[in-house]
């Protein structure tokens, strides 16, 4: 865990509900993001993947734990001290409809981060940078004075990407960047992200629930359940040799776009998801796990090395 660009140590995030109770969104996550890689965070809604993404770039303060960027602690910094790191750590949102100010023109939307961080000396320089960004994300340059509602979903996502790129960041957290898009457009955006990574040497944390997208884009995958990491490892290893029962179920429930494989037995998960307000004792997956034993209820499994991956399951030691 030393050569990482970004490292998280035992990150915890609780959101209080009332005086007594709170939602345990992220429950002690440690991981490293290596320079130049794409690390995917997968899991179902409410598993804490978006919260983790925001914790990683300092957009949310953790309840406890620490994030280090290039070895420097970025947790608990004052706004003034954090500002240079914010330029390095950017975010792309899922919903291109909701994340752009409808009253701003494209030129102002893309210029906003440049102006806020006072990157350019003159107005001309800002315009030049904006045009350059528009070109690199594939928005026609004559759309400079258009408003967000004049664009399609895919183009709006391109604007969101241009905004994230404006400050030349080292790492971008992409939070479900293609989930709101149609299949044909989704692939255009994925190709663009790939191309930008190659030309600019970007590092991505790619949050998604879509396993086929994750398999295509990521180098490593981190599978989360109820705020905890269940399994983390190289993408091909996790997809081919899923060791954690939850990963196996997740992969088993993919609906293959092939009518000839209808006979394939889908692995259906039993029961209902546990509550993040009152998580089960021991392993948080045990209430849905067909292999759960008495040990699973008593003791929380630690992430242990298995092959090139790390897995949090008691069955592995047997």
Partner 1 sequence: MLNSTLEVSHLCTSFFTDRGEVKAVDDVSLRVDKGQVVGIVGESGCGKSMVARSVMGLVKKPGKIVGGSIVLNGQELTSLDDKELCEVRGRDVSMVFQEPMTSLNPTMRVGRQVQEVVAIHEQVSKEQARQRTLEILSAVGIPEVEARYDAYPHELSGGLRQRVMIAMAMIMRPSLLIADEPTTALDATVEAQIIALLKRLAHTGTSVLIISHNLGVIAQLADYVYVMYAGRIVEKADVCELFDNPLHPYTHGLLGAVSSLRSQSKVLQTIPGVVPNLANLPAGCSFAPRCDRCMAACDSVRPELVTVGAGHELCCHLTKGVDVL
- Residue 267 Cβ vs partner 1, minimum distance, rounded to whole Å: 8
- Angle, helices 123-137/106-116, rounded to nearest 10 degrees: 120
Single out the residue of 119, 185, 295, 297 in contact with partner 1 (rule: CB under 8 A).
Answer: 185
Q: Which stretch binds partner 1 (CB under 8 A): 33-41, 102-110, 118-126, 184-192?
A: 184-192
What CA dihedral angle connects 22, 27, 28 and 29, to 10 degrees?
Answer: -130
Residue recorded with tokens 């092939």: 258
Q: Which is nearer to partner 1, 126 or 162 (CB)?
A: 162
Single out the residue of 269, 295, 297, 306 in contact with partner 1 (rule: CB under 8 A).
Answer: 269
- 64 forms beta bridges with 12
Using CB under 8 A, count the residues that bind partner 1. Answer: 42
Site string for partner 1, 18-57 (x = CB under 8 A): --------------------------xx------------
Please report whether residue 280 would count as binding partner 1 according to CB under 8 A: no
Q: Which stretch binds partner 1 (CB under 8 A): 80-88, 124-132, 163-171, 179-187?
A: 179-187
Site string for partner 1, 235-254 (x = CB under 8 A): --------------xx-xxx
Residues in the chain: 318
Q: Which stretch binds partner 1 (CB under 8 A): 19-27, 115-123, 146-154, 278-286?
A: 146-154
List of residues contacting partner 1 (CB under 8 A): 44-45, 152-155, 182-188, 190-191, 194, 209, 211-213, 215-216, 249-250, 252-262, 266-269, 271-273
């Amino acid at each position: 865990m030393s050569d990482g660009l970004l490292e998280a140590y035992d990150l915890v995030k609780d959101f209080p509900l009332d005086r007594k109770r709170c939602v345990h969104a992220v429950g002690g996550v440690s991981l490293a993001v290596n320079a130049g890689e794409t690390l995917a965070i997968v899991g179902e809604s409410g598993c804490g993947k978006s919260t983790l993404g925001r914790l990683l770039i300092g957009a949310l303060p953790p309840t406890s734990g620490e994030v280090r960027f290039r070895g420097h602690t970025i947790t608990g910094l004052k706004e003034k001290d954090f500002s240079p790191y914010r330029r390095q750590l950017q975010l792309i949102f899922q919903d291109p409809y909701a994340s752009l100010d409808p009253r701003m023109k494209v030129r102002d939307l893309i210029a906003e981060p440049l102006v806020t961080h006072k990157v350019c000396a003159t107005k001309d320089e800002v315009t030049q940078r904006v045009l350059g960004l528009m070109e690199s994300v594939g928005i026609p340059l004559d759309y400079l004075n258009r408003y967000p509602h004049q664009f399609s979903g895919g183009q709006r996502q391109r604007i969101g990407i241009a905004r994230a790129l404006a400050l030349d960041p080292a790492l971008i957290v992409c939070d479900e960047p293609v989930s709101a898009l149609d299949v044909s457009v989704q692939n255009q955006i994925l190709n663009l992200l790939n191309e930008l990574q190659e030309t600019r040497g970007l590092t991505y944390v790619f949050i998604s629930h879509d396993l086929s997208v994750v398999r295509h884009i990521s180098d490593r995958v981190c599978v989360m359940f109820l705020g905890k990491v269940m399994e983390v490892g190289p993408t091909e290893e996790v997809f081919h040799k899923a060791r954690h029962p939850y990963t196996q179920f997740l992969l088993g429930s993919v609906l293959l776009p092939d009518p000839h494989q209808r006979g394939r037995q889908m692995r259906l998960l039993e029961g209902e998801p546990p509550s993040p307000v009152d998580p089960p004792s021991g392993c948080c997956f045990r209430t849905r796990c067909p292999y759960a034993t008495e040990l699973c209820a008593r003791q929380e499994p630690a992430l242990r090395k298995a092959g090139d991956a790390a897995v949090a399951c008691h069955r592995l030691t047997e």
